[in-house]
Amino acid sequence: MIKANQCSLQYKDGTVALKPFDLEIGKGETVLITGPSGSGKTSLLKLILGIEVPTSGKFEVLGQPICKGVDQDIRKLRTQIGPIFQDFRLLEGRTVLENVVLGLRFLENSPSDMKKIATDYIERVGLGHKRNQSVDRLSWGECQRVAIARAVSRRPKLIVADEPTGNLDQENAINVLNLLASFTDSNTSVLITTHATHLVDKIEPTALLVMHEGVFTFERGGAYV
Amino acid sequence: MFKGLKNTNYYLGEVKTIIKLNGFSSFLSVISLSLIFFITTLTLTGWWLSTTFTNALENEAEISAYYPADISLNNVQGLILEIQKMEGVKTVTAVTAEQAYDKMSEILGQEAKILSQFDENPFEAYLEIGIDLDRLEPILTTLELNDQLEYIRDNRTILEKISRISTLIALLGIIMTLAVGISTFIITSHIIREGVHAHEAQINTLQLLGAPDTFINLPFIIEGALLALISGILAAIAYLGFMRVVGNFTDGVIPFFPIIETQTVFISISVGTICVSLILGLLASLFGLKLNKKK
């Protein structure tokens, strides 16, 4: 799913976000990445989504090299990823259903399938009764579940969630992490970043990676770093 | 094709949302574009009318050639045949002194009584030569060299003025059409850029979800084309209404003006404006999106 070989990332202003690292994440894994703010978690997600390209080394996602000059390929790659953003990035003024359907519109689905799939996933995140309600009137936690439904309804090969537990109390945070982990199957991997290290023991990730100042410190799991 | 059509409702919904979000700006843009298109229709009409008018006058372009009073009828006939053979000469008619008198009486109308002050007919017989205006110079040169002709009245100043006015109006028409094209382009592409700017976050999200550029851009292209089309339709309606009112006022005011079938032309200009507005809207939207992409 994800392969990194001596990959590093340095921003234009000189900030070193990720020091050279090797990484390999396989199919069907749930990987939790923790670390304090500014440790490089979001930078790693930016690499995965092709928002940034490595300064040195090689980085591959689902077999697609992340490098300059492959914009169209990266756009195609993103259709196989289900991203859950920290700020959700839901479309204001649209209903829950419209937001979830939006993620499916440019995939290979017929209009009736799109609605059916979206409704199914909205039910699975527990918002079936609010599917026709505008996202503007939802609570923070409900918006997050819409974002999850939008990401997972695309049946992606890789789900990436950036700080999905931020601002949540422990119980809700665990619920969200477990909900995300529940979408893992033999073909789908889930990558979750969180600075809430105290939650790590509450779920059972395949691997746990800890980051600090752009460096990976392997904590638990298979041979990843 | 089918794949693209499945999102038609989404695209139309997005266009509605984009226009609604930029409501006031969109409204002002439609008004500006409508006025621009309206002025263009008037310019085009002026261009067309003046061209038709000058063409009609050019077709009536005549030279009067005077011959000596003592010349025999046979010689006049010979002269007519000789002139008829010249390139650019359409007609040659012999006008007697009496016919010349009657013509002037007709032109003067009520003022024709002044002619009765003359004891004798002050007019002379002459040859009325209808010519192709483009051949004015060589015809005049040949006629001036003809010994049997005493005097040539060429109306050159008037004919040249008509020709100049015709060129000037054509030039004005081209400049106006260009100005309209550029203005529409600038306004529409600016609307699109504004729309894209207002939806930056949404566009960014769609890009991160892997949406292709066509999917992201299409609502903006439809928006630009739609606003321009609405403007074109409004301008066409206003134009047809205006021409009807003007037509009622000017009907019969200019009796010497050639009879022209205006209705077909007015409708053609209206339909043309609507089509051009749609095309300009599409092109300007694409241009606006391209500028944004570069940015």
Residue-number span of the structural domain to which B108 is assigned: 62-154
Q: What is the pLDDT of residue A223?
A: 43
From B6, B17, B208, residue closest to A78, measured CB to CB: B208
A110 touches chain B (CB under 8 A): yes
- For B256, the 3-state DSSP assignment is coil
User: Of all residues in chain B, what percent carry a pLDDT higher than 90?
Assistant: 15
Does pLDDT of A201 surpass 80? no
Q: With a CB-CB cutoff of 8 Å, which residues 15-34 of chain B face chain A?
A: 17
Task: Using CA coordinates, name the residue in chain B closest to A89.
Answer: B205
B293 touches chain A (CB under 8 A): no
Q: B2: which chain A residues are within 8 Å (Cβ-Cβ)?
A: none
User: Of all residues in chain A, what percent carry a pLDDT higher than 70?
Assistant: 96
pLDDT digits (tens, 9 = 90+) for B192-246: 888 788 788 888 899 999 999 889 989 989 988 999 999 999 999 999 999 888 8
Torsion sign over Cα B153, B155, B156, B157: positive
Mean model confidence pLDDT for chain A: 87
Q: With a CB-CB cutoff of 8 Å, which residues 91-110 of chain B face chain A?
A: none
Is residue B29 domain-shared with residue B166, that is, in the same domain?
A: yes
Element (H, E) at A207: strand A207-212
Task: Using CA coordinates, name the residue in chain B closest to A52.
Answer: B208
B201 touches chain A (CB under 8 A): yes
Q: What is the mean pLDDT of residues A50-71?
A: 92
DSSP state of A204: -
Q: What is the pLDDT of residue B229?
A: 94
A76 touches chain B (CB under 8 A): yes
Q: What is the pLDDT of residue A221?
A: 65
Q: What is the pLDDT of residue A133?
A: 95
Closest among A179, A175, A163 to A33, alpha carbons compared: A163
Q: Which amino acid is at B60?
A: E
In degrees and rounded to multiples of 5, residue A102 shows phi and psi of -55, -40
DSSP state of A154: T
Distance of residue B188 Cα from the nearest chain A Cα, in angstroms: 25
The radius of gyration of chain A's CA atoms, rounded to the nearest angstrom, is 17
Question: Residue B90 — left, alpha, or beta (φ > 0 → left; ψ -120 to 50 → alpha)?
Answer: alpha
The radius of gyration of chain B's CA atoms, rounded to the nearest angstrom, is 31
**CB A45, CB A91: distance < 8 Å:** no
Closest among A15, A81, A20 to A48, alpha carbons compared: A81
User: DSSP of B86-147, one letter per residue?
Assistant: STTEEEEEEE-HHHHHHHHHHHHGGGGGGGGG-SS-----EEEEEE-GGGHHHHHHHHHT-T
Do the Cβ atoms of A102 and B7 come within 8 Å?
A: no
Torsion sign over Cα B4, B10, B13, B19: negative
Do the Cβ atoms of A106 and B210 come within 8 Å?
A: yes
Alpha-carbon separation of residue A163 from A83, A103, A113 (angstroms): 11, 20, 30
Sequence-distant (6+) residues with CB within 8 A of B253 are none
Is residue B66 domain-shared with residue B186, that is, in the same domain?
A: no
B198 touches chain A (CB under 8 A): no
Residues B39, A100: Cα–Cα separation, whole Å: 47
Closest among B49, B92, B30, B108 to B265, alpha carbons compared: B49
Question: Which residue, B154, B187, B211, sits at the end of a domain?
Answer: B154
Q: What is the pLDDT of residue B237?
A: 95
Do the Cβ atoms of B209 and A75 come within 8 Å?
A: no
CATH fold, domain A1-80+160-225, is Rossmann fold (3.40.50)
Is residue B277 domain-shared with residue B136, that is, in the same domain?
A: no
Alpha-carbon separation of residue A203 from A177, A182, A199, B16 (angstroms): 7, 11, 7, 45
Is residue B282 domain-shared with residue B181, that is, in the same domain?
A: yes
Residues A31, A33: Cα–Cα separation, whole Å: 6
Closest among B242, B245, B248, B240 to B265, alpha carbons compared: B240
Q: What is the pLDDT of residue B1?
A: 46
Q: Name residue, tokens 């039910």.
A: A123
The CATH 3.40.50.300 domain(s) of chain A lie at: 1-80+160-225
Mutate to test the interface with A, among B209, B215, B293 (most CBs of A within 10 A): B209
Task: Using CA coordinates, name the residue in chain A closest to B18.
Answer: A93
ipTM higher than threshold 0.85: yes
Is residue B203 domain-shared with residue B284, that is, in the same domain?
A: yes
Do the Cβ atoms of A83 and B208 come within 8 Å?
A: yes
Residues A50, B90: Cα–Cα separation, whole Å: 77
Task: Using CA coordinates, name the residue in chain A closest to B204.
Answer: A89
Does pLDDT of B45 surpass 90? no
B215 touches chain A (CB under 8 A): yes
Report the range out of B31-35, B106-110, B152-156, B284-288 with the highest average pLDDT: B31-35
Is residue B146 domain-shared with residue B193, that is, in the same domain?
A: no
Q: What is the mean pLDDT of residues B158-168?
A: 75
pLDDT digits (tens, 9 = 90+) for A103-153: 898 887 787 888 999 999 999 888 999 999 999 999 988 998 899 999 999
Do the Cβ atoms of A102 and B6 come within 8 Å?
A: no
Q: What is the mean pLDDT of residues B159-180?
A: 79
Band of residue A160 on the pLDDT scale cut at 50, 70, 90 = very high
Is residue B283 domain-shared with residue B172, that is, in the same domain?
A: yes
Task: Using CA coordinates, name the residue in chain A closest to B202.
Answer: A91
What's the number of domains chain B is made of?
Answer: 2
Alpha-carbon separation of residue B217 from A8, A163, B168 (angstroms): 34, 30, 42
Q: A77: which chain B residues are within 8 Å (Cβ-Cβ)?
A: 210
The pTM assigned to this predicted structure is 0.71
Is residue B53 domain-shared with residue B67, that is, in the same domain?
A: no
Q: What is the pLDDT of residue A209?
A: 87
Is residue B226 domain-shared with residue B86, that is, in the same domain?
A: no
Q: Is B85 exposed, middle or buried (0-12, 13-18, 19+ CB in 10 A)?
A: exposed
Q: What is the pLDDT of residue A60?
A: 94
Q: What is the pLDDT of residue B60?
A: 72
B208 touches chain A (CB under 8 A): yes
**CB A61, CB A97: distance < 8 Å:** no
From B6, B202, B207, residue closest to A111, measured CB to CB: B6
Do the Cβ atoms of B215 and A111 come within 8 Å?
A: no
**CB B173, CB B44: distance < 8 Å:** yes
pLDDT digits (tens, 9 = 90+) for B109-159: 777 788 888 888 888 889 999 888 778 888 888 888 888 888 888 777 776
Do the Cβ atoms of B210 and A76 come within 8 Å?
A: yes
From B10, B205, B210, residue closest to A75, measured CB to CB: B210
Q: Name residue, tokens 């689905």.
A: A109
Closest among B51, B47, B29 to B39, alpha carbons compared: B47
Task: Using CA coordinates, name the residue in chain B closest to A101.
Answer: B10
Q: What is the CATH number of the domain that holds B142?
A: 3.30.70.3040
Is residue B122 domain-shared with residue B16, that is, in the same domain?
A: no
Do the Cβ atoms of B209 and A49 come within 8 Å?
A: no
Q: What is the pLDDT of residue B61?
A: 75
Closest among B290, B30, B292, B51 to B167, alpha carbons compared: B51
A199 touches chain B (CB under 8 A): no
Q: What is the pLDDT of residue A158?
A: 93
Do the Cβ atoms of B206 and A110 come within 8 Å?
A: no
pLDDT digits (tens, 9 = 90+) for B252-282: 555 555 556 677 888 899 999 999 999 988 9
pLDDT digits (tens, 9 = 90+) for B67-99: 988 888 888 899 899 999 999 898 999 998 888
Element (H, E) at A17: strand A16-25
